[in-house]
Structure 1
């Protein structure tokens, strides 16, 4: 057995909340037995309930006045009230008819607590009259989706259906694979190119070896010329040798330097050009 409430789930208080506000809570008894009720709240200092307990005869209803005390200032517009009311009810049987009103609920809570029925009612703050329509229109303007975007909203939380939202150009670009950066280097694309490069490298090594042999041979000849002694009895030999060496010195750089520079120039031209 249970009672019926009107409103059934929410008790609304319209702003401004700086004034005391009264709202009605109707309790109906659709059963065949009298029902005792009791009203509790999570904010007893904020609300005054008259009567906060009583009795409803079968098929009858009772109006309960709920008065919210005036606040010092209105809470913010987006403030969500967390206050709640709890309406407890229990059937009054023939045995319970003999109990005094002040002893009814203590006896039931002690002996038949499982027979108590409960209904919860939450509180809500509404905007002032005339402002509610304006606020709804402003919210519609702020939340109106663009023609190219389809947004699905649930009861309490806006959920964007990503399956129906077309990807923006920036997102499409981000999803494309990045192109490989350009590499400024020689690429070997086949085994034939590798063989060609190996043959050229071997040829260059042979040329370098031949040039090194020529340099060593020239160095040996130059050393032998410096160490050769003039023939005995020839008075003009020293003079000729000195003149010959002097002329060689005046003609330019030593042969060793010239050959070394030629080798370096050949390697530089082969590797970089």
Structure 2
């Protein structure tokens, strides 16, 4: 029996493709295999999760609000809501209050990223402001590939960070060092598309990351000079994507997300 998990931004469903067990007295009684076309409908569905804002916050595993003192469950005013965008229709608006440090949507409900599997994570994002270096809000994390459990030597194998007019994909082999994988300039009030291909590996030689920017179906050349990066992408006992606004206090912060999807192929999740 084969179980396929379907995710959404990040509700998720679990589809079990059932088989028939037949007991035969001898090998001559074994029935012929069912033609492939009979199961094509089930096996062709590789979209694992659809995190459309129209599905409500239950498409995520958890919504996290954290205040400036580090306490979770903050009620200072941060929010994750579905709003109407003139271009994208119903989208996610993530608002971090100035008294909070974190407002994030954790995980795709029904999807458990597993070692040895490859996932395509696609979405669009828009920033209402793009502060320059030195200004409040000039650096914050908009996406994490976040670990949980122990041991937790990485905490976040990679982050997607806004930094002074640019978006940066950063890899963290541990808590003290980082490798810049990809960077692209962004401007305010513009929708950008990105797809991340992640092979989940719990060693430095088995994990892999690729980046697709815009409507380009070809993987981008990374800062390392290759179109893919090999490194550890699983730590602790579980790992999940997170989307939102994290790391800045003292001012409000907003970000919009659309077309959040996780799938088994690029075409499942391309956000354009």
TM-score by length of 1: 0.23
Structure having the larger proportion of residues in strand? 2
State the TM-score, normalized to the length of structure 2: 0.23
Looking at secondary structure, tell me which structure has more helix per residue. 1
